[in-house]
Amino acid sequence: MLDERGGVVAAAPGPAATSGEAAARLWEAAGRSAAAGGLAHVVVPIPGGAVAIVEAHGHRAVAVTGPDPAVALLLFDLRTCLGDAFAGEEAP
């Protein structure tokens, strides 16, 4: 999970810092081409799967999938994780 600045607040083992920076850059790039209402999520196909980012409660959750992801379920799960983790906090 990322905070609003792209800092990693929780991650599975691995190169989390680099992943957080890459996810923040991806989110910013998608935001530049988004409609005036902004972004709620980004899903980008990559070889062998996809990268998904969801924003809610002032944080972002990022997932990298394997082949043939169930995108709607993935987005639901990421929103649920953010809601469970941060719903009690006030948005920044």
CB atoms within 10 A of CB 3: 15
Structural domains of the chain, count: 1
Examine residue 48 and state whether it is found in any structural domain, yes or no.
yes
> Cα 85–90–92 angle (5° rounding)?
105
**First-to-final CA distance of the chain:** 16
Q: How far apart are CA 66 and CA 79, in angstroms?
A: 19
CATH number, domain containing residue 40: 3.30.450.30
| pLDDT tens, position by position, 29-61 | 888 887 766 788 999 998 999 999 998 888 888
78 CB burial (10 A radius; 0-12, 13-18, 19+) = buried
Examine residue 59 and state whether it is found in any structural domain, yes or no.
yes
Examine residue 47 and state whether it is found in any structural domain, yes or no.
yes
Best-predicted range by mean pLDDT (3-7, 19-23, 34-38, 40-44): 40-44
* AA identity, residue 73: L
What tokens were used for 5?
């600045």
